[in-house]
Structure 1
């Protein structure tokens, strides 16, 4: 297959390369944390040198661990809600659906999956991964209220967002969260959160794909700040990568640090921080 160019994507849209490369690096290791075999295939399908997407120490591990944690959250919801829909916000080149459904578990037979992102990203995604049955591509910006129009409103929905909410402003998050609770009858919102400190550092990590070094993302000090943005959400819990089962497959130094940080909430939130809300 001919490699596809991504020169037309904006720096924001190219941030998908960071998580993609994190999964590629993890998958190439002898003991991967996530083991996303499809990531390398996708990387080979685009005309871009992923070697230029430099990842600082610990980033591939963080990408793999948070992906695994979000996978578990989605699977847990689907097991408890027959006929559910999964909605992946800012999907990029995420391969969560293929990771979960490849296990050939009957729970996925009646699940519809909706991948939402900018039209240009969806076009690239569909070229690399043509949607199978019960997978639906939604090429609409999250800031356009119409992004929910093709997604069923009367079925239990798990809304999963890996990184995307951190790139929106507080007001933009308010709009997106409001659209979720206005449209869907019931469900779960799960995403990785950033502290205000981590959000201020966002530009340093994303400049490798052209984002301004002084870019500041959206961060929170407490999960209940999300409820303040949308009182229709009910905070369920927060989970930390430092306490995830993948922690025990890290090298000794990382394992020791993770065990300490897992007991130190303020520090644990600066790492992989997953929050869940009911609506």
Structure 2
């Protein structure tokens, strides 16, 4: 059954198609890193021309998407080993398929995204058991009340490719509010350096999307700790660290991975909120 994208092409929400394409195409070639069967199936059933995305981002771009998904999955698995009944909130869920690969049969999962993005998501990924979609903006803090939170069970917030699109002051305020409302919680997300964000903006513009400019970057994770005494940096990790290399990758791709980590262009940030 073909389902045509109804998202506007000049919106941040439409960028959810980029990681979908990346996970589907790159996981077929690199299943040892990520085996995203759902993304592959969605691509087959989605009446959308991905040729422009493929041309712009290429093989390295696809690898970046599966590495991001893998690193987030690994973090979730470690968290739910300690907290098997944890709550996981996927901020800016888009067409993410992580739940199906990490579910232990006990966690509670929430997909938070804007109303049109959630409506689009549910055409392809209906909410399974213990899943709840919240059709609200990240900055509409009424979503706090939609999340069942039991401090003893733990809560982990994840976000992939989302925070780039907001101004630092916006994120500062919502991080502070989350830290106050969800004491003991943790937040894991990807980020880029200031220079990398400039480069990413040029690439996104090549796809024709002029409405998804990126603003937020992380050069020093300690700067985020200064936002609130309740926010603590657990780690700032190299993007490709610990990822198994595929022998079929070109020398150019291997070089870009090493250069990215050496220059700290892309990274993963892990924060923890103070207990009350």
Three-state SS of the structure 1 residue aligned to 2:13 is: helix
Q: Is the 8 A contact 1:204 1:214 kept in 2?
A: no
Taking structure 1 as reference, are residues 165 and 66 closer, same or farther at Cα in structure 2, changes over 3 Å only? same
Q: Partner residue of 1:85?
A: 87
Taking structure 1 as reference, are residues 184 and 270 closer, same or farther at Cα in structure 2, changes over 3 Å only? same
Superposed displacement of residue 6, structure 1: 1.8
Q: Partner residue of 1:61?
A: 63
Q: Partner residue of 2:231?
A: 233
Listed as ranges, the gaps of 5+ residues in structure 2 are none
Superposed displacement of residue 5, structure 1: 3.0
Three-state SS of the structure 2 residue aligned to 1:88 is: strand
Aligned equivalent of 2:110, options 114, 127, 136: 114
Taking structure 1 as reference, are residues 276 and 173 closer, same or farther at Cα in structure 2, changes over 3 Å only? same
Q: Is the 8 A contact 1:9 1:120 kept in 2?
A: no
| TM-score relative to the length of structure 2 | 0.88
State the alpha-carbon separation in 1 of the partners of residues 49 and 163 from structure 2: 27
Superposed displacement of residue 4, structure 1: 3.5
Aligned length: 268
Q: Is the 8 A contact 1:112 1:134 kept in 2?
A: yes
RMSD between aligned alpha carbons? 2.3
Listed as ranges, the gaps of 5+ residues in structure 1 are 102-107
Q: Partner residue of 1:3?
A: 3
State the alpha-carbon separation in 1 of the partners of residues 191 and 208 from structure 2: 22
Q: Is the 8 A contact 1:233 1:277 kept in 2?
A: yes
Map 1:113-262 → 2, pairs under 5 A:
113-155=109-151, 156-212=154-210, 215-247=213-245, 251=249, 253=251, 254-255=253-254, 258=257, 262=261
| TM-score relative to the length of structure 1 | 0.87
Q: Does residue 45 of the first structure (1) align with residue 36 of the second (2)? A: no
Q: Is the 8 A contact 1:154 1:184 kept in 2?
A: no
Superposed displacement of residue 209, structure 1: 5.0
